[in-house]
Amino acid sequence: MVFIIITKPYLVLLLFFLSCYTPSALFTPPDNYLISCGASQNITFQGRTFVPDSPHSSLVLKTGNSSSLASPTSTTNQSLSIYQTARVFSGLASYRFKITSPGRHWIRLHFSPIKNSTWNLNSASITVVTDDFVLLNDFSFNNHNGSHIFKEYTVNVTSDLFTLTFIPSNDSVVFVNAIEVVSVPDSLIPDQALALNPSSPFTGLSHLAFETVYRLNMGGPLLTSENDTLGRQWENDAKYLHVNSSVLVVTANPSSIKYTASATQETAPNMVYATADTMGEANVATPNFNVTWVLPVEPEFRYFLRVHFCDVVSHAMNTLVFNLYVNDDLALGSLDLSTLTNGLNVPYFKDFISNASVESPRLLTVSVGPDSQADITNATMNGLEVLKISNEAKSLSGLSSVKSLLPGGSDSNKRTEVMIIGSAVGAFAAVLLVAVCCYCCLAASRKKRSTSPQEGGNGNGNGHPWLPLPLYGLSQTLTKSTASHKSNTASCISLASTHLGRVFMFQEIMDATNKFDESSLLGVGGFGRVYKGTLEDGTKVAVKRGNPRSEQGMAEFRTEIEMLSKLRHRHLVSLIGYCDERSEMILVYEYMANGPLRSHLYGAELPPLSWKQRLEICIGAARGLHYLHTGASQSIIHRDVKTTNILLDENLVAKVADFGLSKTGPSLDQTHVSTAVKGSFGYLDPEYFRRQQLTEKSDVYSFGVVLMEVLCCRPALNPVLPREQVNIAEWAMAWQKKGLLDQIMDSNLTGKVNPASLKKFGETAEKCLAEYGVDRPSMGDVLWNLEYALQLEETSSALMEADDNSTNHIPGIPMAPMEPFDNSMSMMERGGGGGNSGTGTDDDAEDATTSAVFSQLVHPRGR
């Protein structure tokens, strides 16, 4: 057995070592159509021969208006790629394939918008359907960053003919460069897998269609169809790792892989099982450390996951025991590969069904970490496949069915649908009328038996239709209760003293939001939805409506109530009131007219912010966080600092929002809070992620990511970028250390930023993003330095040059502490009253004692 442990998966030695092995073709597909659309001759591509679509004897092309297209850069057949020819349709067109062996088939589609003088294929709207399933619906290259796109599906073909239909929309055309229809081994995808959350068997997969979203080769290079007996592609996993430095790559000789009857060459190539990612900090003293892959997904779909393992790490059996997590769910606990496979270097795989993450609906996370009872703290993974599952409309793209997309496909059903809808509406109206009558009778009866609240009810009637939210004891259900009037009154008094604000009737909320009109939707989270509303007096508000079906959302909802009842500050979003009627959980906030900070940086067509505006926004957010950390009797850690949780009012004043994940900080005799990792990927403190130990410095790290977003105007994580640019924190710090931060900042700021101000800003962000919390500044330090950067921007160039004496990057030069320039200035206001009572309601009276330690940031050894 040969072991190679490396930290860079693209070393030339590894590539040469793996390229020496070529798998033998074990499976011969009965159906194997490789079609080069629009080509005039056979084309060899990645070791396979694609034939032209028109003369193929087993293929019938049904179309009205069809044109072949070749790239002007194409030369000979030997150098021609399948992406250099295309078939363009101006009307509905179908390819029909004769199927010799019904069953699962790969449907692979290749698209590349060839430049030509007739059509703009970049704007072509592409819709593709099979006999039963929608594969693509209204796809356009205008929303895609690459020069070509490859789509892979697997569909169970049950007849001897298979039809693939291309549908142009409106006046557009539709095109395709190449098509593959290839048989799949019957055993590759089972009919049943384990569903997570809740854990239960999921059956019926054989009747569903799948789209390959990810197929990852952990620690290994890109594998093309030439390296896979089933023609699959496996990409390297590095750009999906949450923390690139969290893994070591282990490699074995591919010929040493010992396949079994359950895991064969068709399951995955041996070059997948011969490479693995393992923990970068194996056998650390505190083993609370997971290796995590973050995968963007569409939240409306379920996903089939196949996780591949092969113990090429251990030198002896029964020494590697670890856990597998999908999102926050434990998928496999105490996994001992050698026990399951009775040996080392033996492949093993497991299938699961999962949705996207509840906390981050557009992300799917997969993690491996050591088992708490294991002698060796290590974990490994070799490969991962993620396949999207067709929905109830039999679609893999949207909610439309095949019949609704085909012209006239739904006409025959319209009359039936109208009759059904009409009958349903009539029945509903009748039931509603009966219900209203019963309600009126019941209300009249109750009114006779009890005194109304205004008249001083005795508590036995219906004087209080709902109970106020308790300030504490939030583990109980926050809905109606059968408590006595005495308890109810006490709760009201307690509530009033906590400044939770106005109590809204549900009808008031309905009126304010126009019955929760979707056009007024501001955002969606794990708790539910946020709507814009207008109260009777014209006050604009943001209404957060809790989703009772979301356990995680309700927990965050309760946390937010508890936190906001104690917090009042100019730079924290204020709670106006609440509603707890009809089992609804609704909070009403002040409306922030300019929305989240992120929308002013990218993703929206808003005018760019000036450098001064960006500094003022960062300063406002830092003041809010500094107040959280120091302004109450016990510190509060926000735990989800990001640009979407920094909101701007009509004057662009920044206020921190969303306290659903907030956590009370450590007590005086503690250094941290031990808790499960929560937050948003891209902003998570790597030390907190590894150790599960939360401190205020975790917020500081997240705020450092925000600073880089503000400067560079790009997301914290962008998996489509080159590997070194995926994580903004790592990428920006590489430029900061070279003193070239101005090379990557927003182009709108070029030539408009004082160099001294930018330098101070970059130094501040760099300290925030230190790997270890002990090396990071406090939010008070961050606040002072940002205010100093703003002063440098506002001061004349000559004065800035004289004042800019920071030598953070020059070793060996003694550095005197920098004194605050004027403690009496308004910009030196500090968070509300560390010496006040725990409620901390002073908006502007911030902790003045912190000014004495602000200068420590300038001296890296000051703490």
Question: Which of the four pLDDT bands, split at 50, 70 and 90, describes residue 827?
Answer: very low
**CA angle (128 as vertex; 122, 132 as ends), nearest 5:** 165
List the structure tokens of 58.
Answer: 């087993």
- H or E segment and range at residue 66: strand 66-70
Region of poorest pLDDT, from 139-153, 366-380, 411-425: 411-425
Give the residue numbers of the binding site for ATP: 544
pLDDT for res 472: 25
Question: Which of the four pLDDT bands, split at 50, 70 and 90, describes residue 415?
Answer: very low
Is the predicted pLDDT of residue 461 greater than 80, yes or no? no
Tens of pLDDT, residue by residue over 771-816, are 999 999 999 999 999 999 999 998 844 454 455 454 444 333 333 3
pLDDT for res 631: 79
Q: What average pLDDT does this structure show over 735-741?
A: 93
pLDDT for res 517: 87
Is the predicted pLDDT of residue 722 greater than 50, yes or no? yes
Whole-structure pTM value:
0.57
Handedness of CA 518, 519, 525, 528 (dihedral sign): negative
Distance CA 563, CA 551 (A): 19
Tens of pLDDT, residue by residue over 474-488, are 222 233 232 333 333
Residue 318 three-state SS: coil
Give the residue numbers of the binding site: 544
pLDDT for res 402: 94
Q: Nearest 10 degrees: CA dihedral of 824, 829, 835, 836?
A: 120
- Residue (of 253, 206, 218) closest to 102 by Cα position: 206
Tell me 596's DSSP state. B
How high does pLDDT run on average in the chain?
Answer: 77
Catalytic residue IDs:
640
Is the predicted pLDDT of residue 834 greater than 50, yes or no? no
Q: What is the DSSP string of 470-529?
A: PSS-TTS--S-----HHHHHHHHHHHHHTT--EEPPHHHHHHHTTTT-GGGEEEEETTEE
- H or E segment and range at residue 792: helix 779-794
Q: What average pLDDT does this structure show over 667-691?
A: 75
Is the predicted pLDDT of residue 858 greater than 80, yes or no? no
Kindly report the number of other CB atoms within 10 A of residue 818's CB atom: 18
Q: What percent of the chain is modeled with pLDDT above 70?
A: 70
Is the predicted pLDDT of residue 678 greater than 60, yes or no? yes
Tens of pLDDT, residue by residue over 534-552, are 998 889 999 988 766 554 5
Annotate 218-259 with three-state secondary structure: CCCCCECHHHCCCCCCEEECHHHECCHHHEEEEECCHHHCCC
Provide Rg for the chain, Cα atoms: 31
Q: What is the DSSP string of 67-129?
A: EEEE-TT---TTT--GGGEEEEESS-EEEEEE-SS-EEEEEEEEE-----SS--GGG--EEEE
Handedness of CA 443, 444, 448, 454 (dihedral sign): positive
Question: Which of the four pLDDT bands, split at 50, 70 and 90, describes residue 56?
Answer: low
Distance CA 685, CA 673 (A): 14
pLDDT for res 667: 62
pLDDT for res 409: 57
- H or E segment and range at residue 782: helix 779-794
Q: What average pLDDT does this structure show over 211-224?
A: 95
Q: Exposure string (b/e) for 91-126, b if CB count within 10 Å is 16 or more? A: ebbbbbbebeeebbbbbbbbbbbbeeeebebeebbb
Q: At what angle do helices 755-768 and 728-737 cross, to 10 degrees?
A: 130
Q: Which residues contact 256 (CB under 8 A, 6 or more apart)?
A: 1, 2, 274, 312, 345
Selected residue with higher pLDDT from 99 and 835:
99
Region of poorest pLDDT, from 401-410, 569-578, 650-659: 401-410
Strands 502-503 and 575-579, sheet pairing: parallel
For the ranges 137-151, 743-757, 820-834, the one whose mean pLDDT is highest: 743-757
pLDDT for res 16: 43
Question: Which of the four pLDDT bands, split at 50, 70 and 90, describes residue 503?
Answer: confident
- H or E segment and range at residue 294: strand 291-296
Q: What average pLDDT does this structure show over 42-53?
A: 91
Question: Which of the four pLDDT bands, split at 50, 70 and 90, describes residue 838?
Answer: very low
- Domains of the chain, each with CATH number or no CATH: 4-23+194-402 (2.60.120.430), 32-183 (2.60.120.430), 465-590 (3.30.200.20), 609-857 (1.10.510.10)
Question: Which of the four pLDDT bands, split at 50, 70 and 90, describes residue 459?
Answer: very low
